[in-house]
Amino acid sequence: MNDASSNPLPLLGDADEALVDAAMAYLAGEMSDEQLDAFNRQLHDDAHAQQVVAALIWHRRMMIETLARGPASTTPITSTTPTLSPFRGRSVWYAAATIALLITGVTWFAMTSFTSPADNSTPQLSRPVALLTSSTGATWGGSTLPTALGSELAPGTLTLTAGSAQVMFNSGAVIDLVAPCDFELLDTQTGRLTHGQITAFVPQRARGFTVEAEGFAVVDWGTRFTMRVGMGLGEPSSVIVHEGQVEVRTAAQATMLSAAQAVRIHDGQVQLVNAGSLPTIAALLPGVARVKGNVMMLPTAPESVASRQRTDHDMAILFAERSNVLLEQPLAVRIDKPGAYIGDRLPGGIVKPGIHVDSYMLHFDPAGDGPETAGEVSGSITFKHPIRGLITNPGLADADSIFGSPTTVYDDFIHRGLEHEDELTLSPDRLTLQFKLSAFAVDQVRILIEHNNEDDALQGD
């Protein structure tokens, strides 16, 4: 018997008004691309939002299953009223409206989502364990599950042949898939990676989320790791921890890993390695060919890269800011030619007008309190198209309005760039940027690459 009391709606407050509205719009398919991106970011970062949306989806499914059983069914649905925090004034009205909206909305969505079979037979419905929440340039092949954005996913396999996609499990775990990739959903707390690369974000409520693979399994105790399973026979697999702790289990041993640690797994043997020695696939960002080292790609721009807002002592982040920006006049940059450079001795240069560029931000903020708490990261980023210029201090703030993400908050002070401990190397073919950043505050580099129209199709522009 299905009992809705096993998945009650979480505590709803006045601040949840926008979240509930967004969830209803999402389930109705009424979101724009921009709204969907913002909703996706909120679900990725906010455990409470994940609980609300997951509960709403669960109640919708219960209604669908009851309707599927038909009017002869005597199995009741036990509806759990959301627990309300104390309000005054408008908040009391909103709380009551929210309850009504959830009850009527879930009923409406359920009724409009179900079509009775002609023979009145009882359909065999698999309980969904996840939701397909995002995709970028995704091409699917051989999947046993629906691949439309917003699809509820029962246990089954997703086969991604191009682009990237994101799955949110009902437990709250979020998995970013990068093509080529075969990923099987087993239950709300377990997946299986046959081959390819994933990045997993596991909030506290989903601690213990497990990804299985041939010969080993990764158990996440919070909060973020990247896992890669080799395509060919004999190719090793790898795990890199970005935040928190994970446990890598084989038949012979269990190995605990913390942030910035990495292992290579081959023939059942687990070997600790330098994270910088492990290649990762970069299809999360269509203009990027590959990355290595202490850098993590974000599929969407963060809400803020102001000081102490996006911090990690052992990992830099890379995200796309703007695409297809026309340079209408000469642009002053700090580096415009291949070579090796020291952070406080950058020569400067000019990018000629008339070309279109895409901008990317490399951001590192260890949130230290002085030199004794400084962090250090190193790695490389290889783009698909030539790098035309690098902007760092003191020109970052002036360029934010032109190249910065419109949804990201930036600091307006000049000390966001590089210092004498930092090193940058631009390869002779202009495709690869090597970096070594050492800082206790913010280090940022804005990277301008030639725009290519083929990437527009991947990004859905």
Residues paired with 280 in a beta bridge: 291
Q: Provide φ and ψ at 153, rounded to 5°.
A: -115, 120
Q: Does an H or E element contain 25, and which?
A: helix 17-27
- Provide the pLDDT for residue 373: 67
Domains, the chain, ordered by start: 4-113 (no CATH), 130-279 (2.60.120.1440), 285-459 (no CATH)
Distances from the Cα of 306 to the Cα of 46, 207, 242, 294, 415, angstroms: 19, 29, 20, 20, 11
- Provide the pLDDT for residue 347: 92
| Three-class SS state of 457 | helix
The closest of 64, 59, 58, 55 to 112, measured between CA atoms, is: 64
- Provide the pLDDT for residue 118: 41
Distance CA 377, CA 127 (A): 43
pTM passes above 0.85: no
Query: What amino acid is encoded at 11 in this protein?
Result: L
Q: Which residues contact 356 (CB under 8 A, 6 or more apart)?
A: 324, 325, 326, 327, 450, 451
| Three-class SS state of 126 | coil
Report residues of the chain scoring pLDDT below 50. 1-9, 64-125, 282-283, 457-461
